[in-house]
Chains A and B, each alone.
Chain A
Amino acid sequence: MSIDTETARRVAKLARIKVEDDALPALASEFSAILGFIEQLNEVDVEGVEPMTSVTPQRLKRREDVVTDGNQQAAVLKNAPDAREGFFAVPKVVE
């Protein structure tokens, strides 16, 4: 399968990674090579096979639905690039 530059642009947008226009053709050709490699999977007969979710057939453990942690505002914000007044700060989201 061949990926065109428009598709590469769309994927970059979905992944929220800025890719300059002049880098798109090279990216598209890399995607094409990787997807070409993946295409081999079409040779396999997967009729009636359930997609695997977990390698170990186990039910995820559950616990009591209660608060077990909290009151760590300072620790949570410690590594933020921009934290103000107890919040994460980001550029304006709503006009």
Chain B
Amino acid sequence: MRMSLGGYLLAETGKSIWRNKLSSFLSCGTTALALFLLGVAFIVRLNLGFTLEVVQQQMEVQAYLQRELCDSDCAAVFEAVQAMPGVAEVTYVSKADALEQMKEWFQDKSAVLDGLGEDNPLPASIRVTMTDISLIPGLVEEIRLLEGIDDVQYQDEAAARLQSLGAISQAVSLGGMVIVGLVAIMVIGNSIKLTIDAKRHEIAIMKLVGATDEFIVGPFILTGVVLGVLGGVLGASFAIGLYTWVASAVQAAVPFVPVLNLTLETGKDMLIVMLSTGVVVGVLGSTISIRRYLRV
């Protein structure tokens, strides 16, 4: 024999994958599907975290002041809010500021608003950002009790919905991943069982001449790992490809929705988890068949 142990392992692994092309392909395919679903779950989670962060940063409580309030009253409200616990930043938006902002939003159509110059109908407001998003409901209640407040608004429902939507889609894709993952383990196991069946005679001879179980089993385990990792790479590529496509479509259609840009930095954990899941699926698949069929 002109090869080393490593060469032998690789050659045997290559042979066993090539001999059972169809079942190897199926093994890779199902693993890829399982890991694709895992990838989707991951991306959903990453995006959700990102969106929540963005929303949290943007989430501010807007307290509209009564229109007839004088400047000193306004200042008193401002100070009262500033003193409340958990408040990060408070900005005062005067009537004139509010109008300016509205003009900015309308941009080229801002001429419509020119007529409002003297009789500005917009109320002055106080905008509050919090150190912790969970403190918002309490703050809102407190502000409502202040003298001179007309209305208090914040986007609590948006955040809650976002959270439950994310949880549901994550549960669905993780559940799908578990089911398809189990199928993948069985398909890989079957693929390796075929190889073992074909090599029964050879395995018996190897045992006869004193090969250890590890020596005999090595190529089968490696075959499982290779199939699992190939499936992992395939699944990850599909998930990333699909996401990139969807993300750019979303970005083009609704530019103000925050979408996470998938880079090596943000996707690193995902890649590690996906590839190691591929390895685990491969090892489990091959170990199952080896245990069942290697008693020669």
Q: Do A and B come from one complex?
A: no
Q: B-contacting residues of A (Cβ < 8 Å)?
A: none
Interface residues, chain B, CB within 8 Å of chain A?
none
